[in-house]
Amino acid sequence: MRVVVDDLALLPSDAIVRPATARLDATTPVVRRLEQIGGAEFLRHLALQKDLAVGAAVVTGGGGDLAAEFVIHAVIRSETEPISHGSVARAWLSTLQRAREWGFTHLTVPPLGTGAGNLPLEDAAEIMVSVLAAHLGGAGGGGGAGGGGAQSDLPLDVSFVVETDEDRGVFEAALRRQAAGMS
């Protein structure tokens, strides 16, 4: 896990995580940039027959000049369900499960659920770091029937992509608190 200040659309990975509404609409200007870079091909992947459930995650192709071949859309809100700690946690866990199913080893992900009137960055960082730690800790552990194998621990590498050095500090602090809590 690492935190980087970079352009989400242009940072190489197996898949970009994109926070979205139940209709796969963008939730922030940073996420809208993915549509611009991905172009018409990316926009074609967003056509839906019906709304997705809040907390769901769906994989589509990337497109255009996106650095990743795939995008995982994390559904964090709908017209009837606003962004909450629970919706972000459920969508992030679903995203990690899709990454494992698809065999993605490296994800790039912006803070989920932040922006005007939504969760503070500190809350988003705590939720995302704790859900990721639980996912990685529980996915390959236990040695139960049907488990095991390297793929159970995927993704192996997550880059939290933020816009400023101050934002990086918030995520790095959450990572330090998580590491301290595990030791």
Does residue 146 have a pLDDT over 70?
Answer: no
Does residue 145 have a pLDDT over 50?
Answer: no
| pLDDT attached to residue 59 | 96
| pLDDT attached to residue 155 | 78
* Structural domains of the chain, count: 1
Domain CATH for 36: 3.40.220.10
Give the chain as a 3 state SS string: CEEEECCHHHCCCCEEEEEEECCCCECCHHHHHHHHHHHHHHHHCCCCCCCCCCCCEEEEECCCCCCCCEEEEEEEECCCCCCCHHHHHHHHHHHHHHHHHHCCCEEEECCCCECCCCECHHHHHHHHHHHHHHHHHHHCCCCCCCCCCHHHHCCCEEEEEECCHHHHHHHHHHHHHHHHHHC
Residue range 88-134, pLDDT digits in tens: 999 999 999 999 999 999 999 999 999 877 999 999 999 999 999 99
Full residue range of the structural domain in which residue 172 is found: 2-182
